[in-house]
Every structure is written in structure tokens, then in C-alpha cells.
Amino acid sequence: MFKSVLVANRGEIACRVFRTARRMGLRTIAVYSEADANALHVREADEAVLIGPAAARESYLDAAKVLAAAKATGAEAIHPGYGFLSENADFAEAVAAAGIVWIGPKPSSIRAMGLKDAAKKLMIEAGVPVTPGYQGEDQSLETLTAEANRIGFPVLIKAVAGGGGKGMRKVDRPEDFAEGLASAQREGQSSFGDPRVLIESYITRPRHIEVQVFGDSHGNVVHLHERDCSLQRRHQKVIEEAPAPGMDQITRDAVTAAAVRAAKAVDYQGAGTIEFIADASDGLKADRIWFMEMNTRLQVEHPVTEAITGVDLVEWQLRVAAGQPIPLAQADIPMKGWAMEARLYAEDPANGFLPSIGRLDHFVMPDDIRVDTGVMQGGAVSQFYDPMIAKLIVHEDSREAAAARLADACREVEVWPVKTNAGFLARCLDHPRFVEGDVDTGFIAAEEGTLLAPSHSDLPVAAALSWANERFVDAAYSKDIWSESPAHLFGFRLNAGTRSARLPFQQNGVSRVAEATVLDRGPDWQTEYVVDGEPLDYSDLDEGGSLPTTYGDGPIRVFMDGEISVFDFSAPVFGLNATSASDGGLRAPMPGKIVAALAKAGDRVVKGQPVVVLEAMKMEHALTAPFDGVVAEFNVAVGDQVVDGAVLAVVKAAD
């Protein structure tokens, strides 16, 4: 076994690999960009090397710099994590040529599975069923359009070098094909340096099933059962689980056998995942499940497989890379209980899931489950990298228990001022359809109205008013009329008659008014609140369960059910409800680069029509016309770097 390992990655996966490496007694080495100088993975490593500026192409994607860092530190092995250089066959070859152990599959295996079109051809030869579609060399618009028409709409356009949902577009109508193709090609070029695409028939009720496989240098290949990753948003996985709901043993045997055949076809070594798409319109059936692609690396969702098997997949990676055989035979790999993982993203579901960046002044995760993260309180979420900040993982005896526990965990998340999808995740896990296992990749889009609606409980308001008592009452009464405990809204002490006050405040920038009345209730005094004309129900404040918690010395932040409400009692300001686009201005929601100008000054546009496309945090964001009108100003050009809030274009309402 080698004695040291460099992780050519950052964030959560770097911390994850370090955890196992330390347990095995290995020296750990981190690489980092200027943006990550104070990152958690840098702090946790035994040694760390700066490899370049914040932009990934100048640091984490620069193979020469990573290799130089390995040589300078005497690293005996390199673990690539996932993303960045993890599926770069040239980098794998360069590592081996330098006499350093590559913790991953052989370069030939990476190349064989790296391009989706070539991989499909190889799988057909290996007897693995594949999705009907087109994966030809002719990439002309005419040919691709003709093939899409032959396959029949809807179709799915996929970058041949893609992954993680990037470079992927669903197109429902022939007239939208050219625009969808151009967008997929742009994102394929930007993310992977390859604009080529393939086209697949779009399965109307798809399930995403994948099988964890593992191979070694002794000719052994095993599977570690399946995972279900069907709960997705725009082709990005949101919640993963193992095993797959509704999978009977006959279907499981067929799918896992196909996965092992696929791995053997490329002489696979190390950890890999064979991804399948299933037509779930009539349940899971072996003859309705097709190969999609292979990820020649460790997957983000590997913890759910670890949970049901009891296997440390990173340890297996290290041992197999050192030449050891797979530790367990196929018959000895267990499948116990049910595991689920939720991806906690720094994003704002209420604002189109736009990534949220900035300093993590408050970062509290549930403490009784597995949490894999690469950030910490006081750290920051950067605009330069993927917005996933943690993975919440649970393992229970049943699927129902796992979903309930994970929902509770999501509700316990407290992050400020960066926004997260924690409340959205909890609502997904609580949804009756999800609990019943009635899930496909269109679930979130179909149920979006329910899933995006936050709780309308009065408890956050009640908690904020309670916490603010001593602050806003001084202006009208002496402090001794209020309870000494800010966690209760009753038990006040007062020596005179009933008193009341009008208390204007803001909740998340929206102006509201509370009427507070202190009432004589015999030997005790109590307070009644009326907010915006409606009596406030705070009866559950003392009943346990999912109660609000508060944080902050300025504006009061109340966390409940994975959501945050910010209350300001000090300087009420009215009229803050206008949306950012109410004046027709299309403003950059975050710093980024302009990658497409879809209109120009003087063009007529209709509501919802894309006007300009911004690339930020490795994803494209189309800014659309807020109403029918004319583009009065177009202030940017393709290639421009823009700051948060910059007015990119202005649309004037049609006469």
C-alpha cells in the first residue's frame, strides 16, 4: 500500500477521501485555488498546495499543475474525486507515466465509456440493451434535425462528453429543436470542450436506475446493488436512495447482470456506475430498462450504497489501486435496510433555484445522521464552483422510516445568509407520491407548485415577536411587563391595566403590522397578537416537535422547516414588494459570463421569451422578457463578464 495520497479535487469529495485515508494511516495532500485558500479540505489535509487562480480551468482542471503538486509533495497516489479531471484519460496516463498510482480505472476504460455515442455502440456489442436514438458522426443541423424527426418528439439532446445534466436539453416540438440543440452544444463546449451531441427518444415516464460496480486487476468484477436517482430537477439529481423502490428480484438480477457485463466489456478496474433509464409507465420490468452511460469514477451518491452494504467504497478504491483484490465476493455483499441521500444546494428555490453565493455566517447541520460536507461556518460559497454544500444521508430499516428521518434532517438545517434548498427537500420527502414510491424524473416538474410553497405557519412570526419583546417594548412600556424567557408569549407581569401597541415590522422585506395587547387574565397577564388583521396562532410554541430557532443580534432570523424568515423591527420600510423585473430591467442574478445574446435593441419580444443567457456556477441561466414589449436597451455582448445586479437589457411594455 502506498503511504500518501493527493486528492485532485476540492470541497466535499476531498474531505470524504481524506477521512478514509487518515483512518488507513495515509498522509493526505490537498490542492487548492486562490478562492479556496481557507476551505475546509485545505484545513483538513496534512499538506496543501496552491495550484492557481479561482477559475477551474486555471487550477483544478490544469493537469500539469496538479501533477507538479504531486511531484513536489512526494505524493505516491492521486485520487481524482468526481468532476474536474476524474474522467480525463490523458491525465490518468500522465499520472501513471510519472510513477504515481492512479486511483481509478485504466485510461482505455475511461476512453471507451467517456463519449456517450461510442459507449452505446460498445454496449450493443456486449449485449447490453440501449435506448433508441442517434449517436452518429454527422453533427450537421440538417442531419440532427432529420434524426430527431425520425425518432419522434419529444427527444433528449445530450452532449456526448457530458455529465451531471450539463449539455442536456429536452425538446418537445420540432420548431424548438434548433434552439435546444444550440444551447446543448454551447454548454457541451463550455463544460467539456466538446460540442458534439447525441439524440435519444425521450421516455415519458422515466426512472433513473444505476448500479454500483467494482473491478480489480485480478479479473474480478462485482456489483453492489442498485440505486434509484429518479428525483431530479433539470437532469440534476436531488434525492437518491438504495435500493430502488418497486424493484423485484427478477428485474434486479437482470439489471445488475447487465451492469457487470458492461464493466467487463471495458476491462474495468475501480469504482464505477452503470446508469440505466427505465420506462416506469407499467412498473419496473427488465425488458424496459436501457443503458444510458457509465460514470468511470466514484459517484456523488455513493454513501447510500455504503449504508446498505456496510462497505467503505473509498477504502476499496485505495486497496484495488494498490493491486489488492476486491475484499468481498459477490455472494458476500449484503443489502440491508434502506438508505437515502439529499443534496443540499446553495440555491434559492423561490427565485428559480438560482445559485446563492457568499459567506456562511451561520451553518448548522443535523448532528445525528451522516453529513458529508466541504464547507463550515465562517467559510464561503464561491461563484466559481458547483453549489452543492452538503449531503445528508440516513439509513433505516424501511423506506418509509428513511424518508421520514431524512425529511426531519432537512428541516433541521440552518444556513445564513446563503440560501439553501433544505425546505424544498423536506417537502419532496414528505410528499405522498414520494412516500408511496410513485416517482419518476418528471416528479418535481409535475408537483412544483406544492414543492415550492413554503409553510404558512404562524410559528416563525410568533417566535420573532417573542424574541423581539425586549427590543420593541422599551418605547412604550417598562421591560418588567414581559416574560424573562423569550421562548414564551405569556406569563407577563404588570401592575396596571391592559396596554397595547402597534408594531410595524418586515418579514423577508415585506412590510407587516402586529397589534400586541397585554390582557388581564386574573392572577396572570397574557399577550394577544393580531398580525395584518388576523389573530396570530402561536399555540404550538410549547408543544415540541419542529419549532423555530432564532439567531442574530441585528435583524432576527428564524429557522423552521428548513426555511429562514428574516424579521426587522427597527426600521420598517414599506413598498418593497416589487419584483426585480417590474421595470423591465433584466438584471444579472449573480456574477457571470454572457454566453448568448438572443435579442438586440429594437426587437419585439413576448413574455417569457429568452433575451440573454448568463453562464455562472457551471450552468446556463436564461433571462426572459417579463412582459410583451420591445427591447429598449441591450447593454452586453457575448463574452462579457458581468457583476451581480448589472442591468443586461431593458424591455419596455408594448404600446
pLDDT in tens, 113-126: 988 778 888 999 99
Max mean pLDDT among 119-123, 258-262, 350-354, 536-540 falls in 258-262
In this predicted structure, the answer to whether residue 58 has a pLDDT above a threshold of 90 is: yes
Q: Is the pLDDT of residue 544 over 90?
A: no
Closest residue by Cα to residue 205 from 44, 445, 14, 454: 445
Sign of the alpha-carbon torsion through 584, 589, 590, 594: negative
**What pLDDT, on the 0 to 100 scale, is given for residue 523?**
56
Mean pLDDT value across residues 192-200: 92
What is the band of 186 on the pLDDT scale with cuts at 50, 70, 90?
very high
Dihedral of CA atoms 569, 510, 361, 558 in degrees, nearest 10, equals 70
Report the phi/psi class of residue 398: left, alpha or beta, with left for phi > 0 and alpha for psi in -120 to 50. Answer: beta
Q: Convert the pLDDT of each residue in 84-108 to its tens digit.
A: 999 999 999 999 999 999 999 999 9
**Cβ neighbours of residue 107 under 8 Å, at least 6 residues apart?**
89, 90, 92, 93, 96
DSSP structure class, residue 436: T
Length of the chain: 655
Residue 487 has pLDDT above 50, yes or no: no
In the predicted structure, residue 517 carries a pLDDT above the cut 90? no
Q: Is the pLDDT of residue 250 over 50?
A: yes
CA dist list (Å): 373 to 12, 62, 310, 482: 5, 24, 20, 41
Amino acid at 559: F
Query: What does the alpha-carbon distance between residue 182 and residue 611 come to, in Å, rounded to a whole number?
Result: 15
The confidence band for 485, taking pLDDT boundaries of 50, 70 and 90, is very low
- Residue 278, SS3? strand
Distance CA 548, CA 545 (A): 9
CB 161 within 8 A of CB 114: yes
The enclosing H or E element of 227 equals: strand 221-233
Q: In the prediction, which pLDDT does 473 show? A: 44
Q: Helices 422-430 and 399-411 sit at what angle, rounded to 10 degrees? A: 150
User: In Å, what is the CA distance from 307 to each residue of 135, 338, 370, 638?
Assistant: 37, 8, 10, 46
The average pLDDT across 14-39 equals 98
Least confident of 3-17, 170-184, 580-594: 580-594
Burial of 165 (0-12, 13-18, 19+ CB in 10 A): middle
Which one, of 134, 284, 114, lies nearest residue 199 by Cα?
134
pLDDT of residue 535: 87
* Residue listed under C-alpha cell 479479473: 219
Lowest model confidence (mean pLDDT) among 8-22, 450-464, 490-504, 563-577:
490-504
Q: Which amino acid is at 36?
A: D
Q: Is 186 among the catalytic positions? A: no
Beta strand 358-359 with 380-381 is antiparallel
**For position 647, what pLDDT does the model report?**
87
Q: DSSP secondary structure string, 505-560?
A: EEETTEEEEEEEEEEEETTEEEEEEEETTEE---GGGGS-SS--EEE-SSSEEEEE
> Quick one: how far is CA 309 from the chain centroid?
24
Residue 502: is its pLDDT beyond 80? Answer: no
Predicted confidence at residue 5, as pLDDT, reads 98
522 in the Ramachandran plot: left (φ > 0), alpha (ψ -120 to 50) or beta?
left
Please check the confidence at residue 467 and state whether its pLDDT lies above 50: yes
- Digit-coded pLDDT (tens) for 622-644: 888 989 999 999 999 999 988 77
Helices (runs of H) and strands (runs of E) counted in the chain: 17, 39
Max CA separation in the chain (angstroms): 89
Please determine, for residue 153, whether its predicted confidence score (pLDDT) is greater than 90.
yes
Residues 342, 372 contacting (CB under 8 angstroms): no
Catalytic residue among 297, 343, 405, 427: 297
Angle at Cα 606 formed by Cα 605 and Cα 611, nearest 5°? 50
What are the Cα distances from residue 361, in Å, to 100, 115, 358, 377, 557? 40, 42, 9, 6, 12
What pTM, to 2 d.p., does this model score?
0.79
Give me 392's grid cell: 445528508
According to the model, what pLDDT value does residue 500 have?
63
pLDDT at 23: 98
Q: What is the DSSP letter of 160?
A: E
**Cis? peptide before 243, omega within 30° of 0:** yes
Q: Supply the pLDDT for residue 166.
A: 84
> What is the average pLDDT score of the chain?
87
pLDDT band for position 579 (50/70/90)?
very low
* Out of 265-274, 376-385, 454-463, least confident range: 454-463
